[in-house]
């Protein structure tokens, strides 16, 4: 699976990127996992589902019905913010799109767990000189998905 992380806030520009990322993950035959809510998560699931892919939403609450309508498998963790850890652990690679501190927590945990992280208009972190591995920057959805697929 490849994870897509980003804000639940609505941002047309980031949502368009997310939808295209979702579509490309589906076309690659890979399952998309995300937090199952709105904003970037809804857009990515919509893109994947419309391209015939499988979508998994790992929800913060205890009710599967809270998932966005493009989530096909809804996991009701009831774990709150801790569900972010479960999203990235379940994926071979993580694509972070925009995002504020919630997304940053997913990036940080992904790196802590040794998962590959690709950023699309997201946080720029890491410094090979200090031994802190970098977030790989991508310039387009196509590049982000290609980088995510490289080691999965």
> DSSP states of the chain as a string?
-EEEEE-SS--HHHHHHHHHHHHHHHHTT--EEE--SSTHHHHHHHHHHHTT--EEEEESSS-GGGS-TT-SEEEE---GGGHHHHHHHT-SEEEEES--HHHHHHHHHHHHTT-EEEEES-----BGGGTBPPPEEESSHHHHHHHHHTT-
Q: Does 32 sit near a copy of itself (CB under 8 A)?
A: no
Residue among 27, 51, 66, 108 that touches a copy of itself (CB under 8 A): 108
Residue among 8, 27, 28, 31 that touches a copy of itself (CB under 8 A): 31
Q: Does 8 sit near a copy of itself (CB under 8 A)?
A: no
**Which span sits near a copy of itself by CB under 8 A: 11-19, 22-30, 58-66, 136-144?**
58-66
Q: Does 52 sit near a copy of itself (CB under 8 A)?
A: no
Closest distance of CB 43 from a copy of itself, Å: 20
Q: Which residues bind a copy of itself (CB under 8 A)?
A: 1, 31, 54, 56, 58, 62-64, 73-82, 84-86, 89-90, 92, 100-102, 104-105, 107-109, 111-113, 125, 132
């Amino acid at each position: 699976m490849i994870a897509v992380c980003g804000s639940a806030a609505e941002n047309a520009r980031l949502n368009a990127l997310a939808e295209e990322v979702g579509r490309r993950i589906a076309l690659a035959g890979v399952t998309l996992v995300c937090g199952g809510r709105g904003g970037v998560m809804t857009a990515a699931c919509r893109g994947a589902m419309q391209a015939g892919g499988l979508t998994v939403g790992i929800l913060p609450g205890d009710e599967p019905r809270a998932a966005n309508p493009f989530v096909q498998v809804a996991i009701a963790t009831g774990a709150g913010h801790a569900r972010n850890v479960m999203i990235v652990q379940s994926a071979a690679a993580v694509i972070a799109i925009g995002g504020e501190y919630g997304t940053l927590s997913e990036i940080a945990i992904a790196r802590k767990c040794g998962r590959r992280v690709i950023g699309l208009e997201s946080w720029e972190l890491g410094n090979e000189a200090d031994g802190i591995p970098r977030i790989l920057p991508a310039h387009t959805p196509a590049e982000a998905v290609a980088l995510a697929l490289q080691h999965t």
